[in-house]
């Protein structure tokens, strides 16, 4: 397992063990000893399946409920999207984007203080590990249409909840 830094402090690309052969592919996306220093422990994990064109997010948890996430694509192809909402950060307000493909052996660790979402380039399933449990009363979000850096995504399906989120300017003001 290799863990690579990005220009975003704490946001890391994880290249995990991957062994393809004529039967298919075997991957190991979670090795406690190798992820502990960069991720810590897991409080919950969830899977989500999305149709082509779905955008989920951009969501975050506030205060001491803020979550660190580790995202891995299991089927299909997604665009992982994170907006740095940490005022003290040199990348404050900037957008991270990375395409994750099914069983590619690549995942992304997103630290606390980021709004996060995924866009499905095709029917896709992800697993998302979180270091803290979800807290409904501490959730916030940003409407994707207010972020010019992701305007090129051909979004066709968004939940009613997500289409009514505040703009990035309202959140970062």
Q: Is the peptide bond before 58 cis (omega within 30 degrees of 0)?
A: yes
Q: 93: domain range?
A: 2-172
| pLDDT tens-digit series, residues 124-164 | 999 999 999 999 999 999 999 999 999 999 999 999 999 99
Which residue from 8, 108, 126 is spatially nearest to 56, judged by alpha carbons?
A: 126
> For the chain, what is the domain count?
1
**Rounded mean pLDDT of the chain?**
94
Q: 67 near 138, Cβ under 8 Å?
A: no
Identify the residue with better confidence: 104 or 53: 53
Token pair 């959140």 in the structure block, residue? 171
| pLDDT tens-digit series, residues 84-115 | 999 999 999 999 999 999 988 999 999 999 99
CA 15 – CA 100 distance, rounded (Å):
11
CA 118 – CA 151 distance, rounded (Å):
14
Token pair 């890391």 in the structure block, residue? 12
CATH code where residue 123 lies: 2.60.120.10
Q: 119 near 54, Cβ under 8 Å?
A: yes
């Amino acid at each position: 397992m290799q863990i690579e830094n990005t220009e975003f402090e704490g946001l890391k690309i994880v290249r995990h063990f991957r062994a393809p052969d004529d039967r298919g592919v075997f991957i190991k996306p979670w090795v406690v000893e190798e992820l502990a220093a960069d991720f810590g422990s897991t409080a919950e994990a969830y899977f989500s399946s999305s149709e082509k064109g779905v955008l989920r997010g951009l969501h975050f948890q506030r205060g001491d409920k803020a979550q660190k996430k580790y995202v891995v694509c299991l089927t299909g192809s997604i665009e992982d999207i994170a907006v740095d909402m940490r005022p003290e950060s040199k990348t404050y307000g900037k957008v991270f984007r990375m395409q994750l493909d099914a069983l590619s052996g690549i995942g992304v660790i997103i630290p606390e203080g980021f709004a996060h979402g995924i866009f499905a380039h095709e029917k896709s399933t992800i697993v998302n590990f979180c270091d803290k449990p979800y807290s409904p009363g501490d959730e916030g979000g940003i409407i994707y249409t207010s972020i010019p850096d992701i305007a090129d995504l051909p979004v066709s399906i968004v939940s009613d909840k997500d289409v009514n989120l505040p703009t990035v300017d309202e959140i970062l003001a």
